[in-house]
Amino acid sequence: MVVAREGERDNHTNALIELMYLASARGDRVGFERWRERVVGSEAHAQPNIRVDFYMKSGIGLARFGNFARAADMLSAARALAAEHGLHEFEFRVERIQAGLPACEHVLDACSQQDQEPQYDFEPVREVAASLAQLA
């Protein structure tokens, strides 16, 4: 509703940031990028706390999708902006997220390196999977 009205600029930008964050939490990469692009044009004119929130939630979203280098850059920008404007709560939150980023990257790498065989509980599905495996 807030996005449709486009009333006060900061409220509009904040709503877009939350939609972007929710899309990343759902694992919707396309939705995340669409909402992020909509925020990019308006975040330059936003209050510092809203810009910090955007950088932080963009960094979280990028990390969720495995782009850890860009996530680290966004989180660094968020932390620097928070420190510059005395937004200490944001600064501490971003610091904690940055500290956990390497562990998340390690876990994601470990999961992707494991050759996980899907488990099928339904006999016809197992038969089709076996047939497909023979074709490959």
The overall average pLDDT reported for the chain is 85
pLDDT at 45 over 90: no
Rounded Cα distance between 29 and 18, Å, is 15
Question: 113 in the Ramachandran plot: left (φ > 0), alpha (ψ -120 to 50) or beta?
Answer: alpha
So what's the pLDDT on residue 105? 78
**Where exactly are the structural domains of the chain?**
2-135
Cβ atoms within 10 Å, residue 49: 16
So what's the pLDDT on residue 1? 45
Q: How confident is the model over 18-47, as a mean pLDDT?
A: 92
pLDDT at 4 over 60: no
Task: Please give the residue that has the higher pLDDT: either 78 or 122.
Answer: 78
Q: How confident is the model over 65-84, as a mean pLDDT?
A: 95
SS3 string, 25-67, reads HHCCHHHHHHHHHHHHHHHHHCCHHHHHHHHHHHHHHHHHCCC
Q: How confident is the model over 67-89, as a mean pLDDT?
A: 95
Q: How confident is the model over 47-55, as a mean pLDDT?
A: 95
Kindly indicate the confidence band of residue 2, based on its pLDDT and cuts at 50, 70 and 90.
very low
Q: How confident is the model over 79-98, as a mean pLDDT?
A: 95
Geometric angle at alpha carbon 40, from 25 and 19, rounded to 5°: 30
